Amino acid sequence: MIFHKRIWRVIVAVLFITLIGCQKISNKGELFLPEGFVSTVYVDSIAETVRHMTVNDNGDLYVKFKRSSEAGVLAAIRDADKDGIVDSLVKFGSYHIPQRGSYSTAARIYKGYLYFSSQLTVYRYKLDPDKLVPTGEAEIIVHDDHAHGSHEHIGKPIAFDNDGNIYVPFGAPNNACQNPKRTPMAPGQDPCPLLKDHGGIWRFDAEKIGQTQHDGEKYASGLRSIVALDWNNDDNHLYSVVHGRDDLTRLWPNHFSQWESALLPSEEFVKIEKGDHFGWPYCYYDQMQGKKVLAPEYGGDGNIIGRCADYKDPIIGFPGHWAPNDLVFYEGDAFPERYKNGAFIGFHGSTNRAPYPQSSYFIGFVPFKNGKPSGEYEIFADGFAGIVNTRDAMYRPMGIAFAPDGTMYLSETEKGKIWRVQFKGDRENFGEKELVAMEERKSMSHIRTPDIVKDRIEPEDSKIGQKTYNQYCIACHQSNGMGTSGRFPPLGGTDWVTGDKERLVKIILNGMEGAIEVNGETYDGLMPQHSFLSDDQIADVLSYIRTNFGNKSNNVTAEEVEKIRKENTNFKKK
């Protein structure tokens, strides 16, 4: 009997691995890597989870938490005897200025200081070479003092040049400069007023205390949302991989199919020089056509170029919604020569490709030579997730850091796991044959371009209200209604959905900005208003979510919606 139980357990395990697309990481913590590279789990989990990381000259690893806690906002990690096993992990630090949300980002070391950021503030601690944890007070370097209703796109990654400057993005708290935000068929504001103090990168004195945006210099514009940012010391230029806009088919179904909306627009890898403008919100890059085109909010249809000829193109256009969340240029000598001065990119993974599979969730690499890409992008590390819905992801890769001894560290944001990656092969003879298996991984469903028919997942509008859900809700809340950690809350098992009908209808009519707590987790995304829907459509879609995703609440009627709409005099009856 015991023998049969063991066989059954093996069968179940094999089936589980098969069901997730052979993407599960082994219990040794191994990732899929080019031949000659090996990975081990360095930290199994950190409750606050991890965003960016940095390594001190002595090998101490510092990580920035996604979520702060009473224990701190950072962790210091030391392997004292260099055996690859953590000897000390100490959580520390706090914010002077209260923050909300879960998009705290930066961790970089500069001139003996640990620089890090919350969503609105860049801080630094003085490091003591004899101590693992800083003992002094954190200093504020730059604070974003704008009044933000939503914390959309305003994380603060950082980069340093060789002349004493720090670069800080001020992302645009909007998708395409519409007012109201994310409203179907609504034109964009022209000129976009947000570009005055958002949607760009500002340059500051890296060591001056207490700066706000007015103390800095606007360096580049037309950049919607940046999390991946680094200075390339080889050619002495700033680079970023930029998050493109969303919702092409939800906002403009007359121009874009769900398949096009899953793949477009591009995540742009850009080389940034002072005075550059990359075109947001007026334009976006289409990597399939290889050109920058006019956004539909400004008269575009997916093909028209118009004013976009005046804006700077990216050096590479990655597929849409891959979520590039870290960028590090490799300067070491421990890896084979092909990696020298190349760019490693942490693709955190898409959240809004439904009804097609979510995509990316890997560490990419772009070879560089003479300050520009010398080849196509490569998959460097894979095996984090093979998924349909974002919540299915076991791990979502995020941070990249290199130690002086050549060790590479990779972090992820779901469980706070950190891997060590080292090269154990033959540096001199490393070549294309060591990359064959990684190139084949581009055919995996979470990376390749989905087939427009065969890869469509969501059934065609089989229930009343599902058609409206599939058109306007599925991209954020997912086909399983589970949403996305930190951004879009789940629809199942929450009083926000199953409770007060009037509150729920008002959220549809008015939208919602700012942080809310759902089932013990904080979400700080944007729920756009949907007052353009008819009373029947609102009643049907709310009835659908109140009776699906594990919910068993009563329906919402069109009469109830009509009554509540009349009380909201800003909205006409549809």
pLDDT digits (tens, 9 = 90+) for 153-169: 888 999 999 999 999 99
Q: Quick one: pLDDT at residue 9?
A: 36
118-154 confidence digits (pLDDT tens): 989 999 999 998 899 998 999 999 999 987 766 678 8
Classify 379 in phi/psi space as left (phi over 0), alpha (psi -120 to 50) or beta. beta
Task: Give the whole-angstrom CA distance, residue 16 versus residue 12.
Answer: 6
Residues near 231 by beta carbon (within 8 Å), at least 6 away in sequence: 159, 160, 161, 162, 167, 237, 238, 239, 329
pLDDT band at 461 (very low <50, low <70, confident <90, very high): low
pLDDT at residue 17 above 60? no
Q: Does the domain spanning 466-567 belong to CATH 1.10.760.10?
A: yes
pLDDT band at 458 (very low <50, low <70, confident <90, very high): low
Choice between 453 and 475, residue whose per-residue pLDDT is larger: 453
Instruction: Give Cα separations from 487 to 303, 478, 522 (angstroms).
Output: 31, 12, 8
pLDDT at residue 16 above 70? no
**What predicted TM-score, i.e. pTM, was given to this entire model?**
0.86
Q: Where are the domains of the chain?
A: 12-443, 466-567
Q: Quick one: pLDDT at residue 527?
A: 86
Task: Give the whole-angstrom CA distance, residue 484 versus residue 159.
Answer: 28
HSE, side-chain direction, 13 A CA sphere, residue 379: 23
Task: Give the whole-angstrom CA distance, residue 374 versus residue 526.
Answer: 39
256-301 confidence digits (pLDDT tens): 999 999 999 999 999 999 999 999 999 999 999 999 999 999 999 9
- Architecture per CATH, domain 12-443, reads as 6 Propeller (2.120)
Q: What is the mean pLDDT of residues 206-224?
A: 98
Closest CA to 548 of 456, 458, 485, 414: 458
213 CA to centre of own chain: 24
Task: Give the whole-angstrom CA distance, residue 484 versus residue 504.
Answer: 19
Choice between 336 and 460, residue whose per-residue pLDDT is larger: 336
pLDDT band at 516 (very low <50, low <70, confident <90, very high): confident
Q: Quick one: pLDDT at residue 568?
A: 77
